[in-house]
């Protein structure tokens, strides 16, 4: 069972249908929306400010979500994918965003709807990104506008993780999973 710990009178609130892996840690002033998934070894620590996460958002293995004391809460929209090992700290992230594996988004950064942040990118403190772009590098810079297919993939990533979490609730991976409606190449998992 996940560690869900109240702190300073604030109790985490978890939305209906949300999956929390057994090794996930959720502390303090945290609200997680409906049909989300919080995977193994994730830490969501709302100890020094609040954290709000929208619906159908997935936070993948080893990610860290935190905020800054009295200065920078963390607000994440709907249908967001936070990749494995990402650090998301005291910023605002819109809807249908992908934060790639190992990426870092720092305090007061503003990431609007429909942005793809590449694996390993660093979004610096106070950065204001523009909707509809792929960002990469250290510091993260706009690389190119997202194609219609890339924009659609942002929703597909979130939809996949709604499916994946259902397997855990049901007790395991189905023998013949049908990925055809999710795009991205048949029966590939990931």
As given in the structure block, the two tokens for residue 41 are 């070894």
Domain ranges of the chain: 3-148
Fold of 3-148: UDP N-Acetylglucosamine Acyltransferase; domain 1 (2.160.10)
pLDDT in tens, 6-24: 999 999 999 999 999 999 9
Please give the residue that has the higher pLDDT: either 36 or 180.
Answer: 36
CA–CA dist 146, 133 (Å, integer)? 5
With CA atoms as reference, report the closest residue to 33 among 7, 59, 63: 59
Give residue 4's region: left, alpha or beta (phi > 0; psi -120 to 50).
Answer: beta
What is the predicted pLDDT for the residue at 169?
Answer: 78
State residue 187's pLDDT score. Answer: 31
Q: What is the mean pLDDT of the chain?
A: 92
pLDDT of residue 1: 86
Return the percent helix, strand and coil in the chain, to nearest 5: 15, 35, 50
Summarize the confidence of residues 128-139 as an average pLDDT.
99
Who wins on pLDDT, 38 or 177?
38
Cα–Cα distance, 117 to 135 (Å, whole number): 5
pTM for the model stands at: 0.89
- State the average pLDDT over residues 145-165: 97
Task: Tell me how crowded residue 168 is: count the other CB atoms within 10 A of its CB.
Answer: 15
């Amino acid at each position: 069972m996940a560690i869900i710990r109240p702190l300073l009178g604030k109790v985490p609130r978890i939305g209906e249908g949300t999956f929390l892996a057994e090794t996930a840690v959720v502390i303090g002033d945290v609200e997680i929306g409906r049909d989300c998934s919080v995977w193994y070894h994730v830490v969501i620590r709302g100890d020094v400010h609040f954290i709000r996460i929208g619906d159908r958002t997935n936070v993948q293995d080893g990610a860290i979500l935190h905020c800054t004391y009295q200065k920078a809460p963390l607000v994440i929209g709907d249908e967001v994918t936070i990749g494995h090992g990402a650090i998301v700290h005291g910023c605002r992230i819109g809807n249908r965003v992908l934060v790639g594996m190992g990426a870092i988004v720092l305090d007061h950064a503003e990431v609007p709807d429909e942005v793809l942040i590449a694996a390993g990118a660093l979004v610096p403190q106070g950065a204001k990104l523009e909707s509809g772009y792929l960002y990469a590098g250290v510091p993260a810079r706009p690389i190119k506008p997202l194609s219609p297919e890339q924009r659609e993939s942002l929703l597909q990533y979130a939809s996949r993780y709604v499916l994946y979490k259902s397997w855990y609730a049901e007790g395991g991976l189905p023998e013949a999973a049908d990925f055809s409606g999710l795009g991205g190449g048949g029966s590939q998992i990931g």
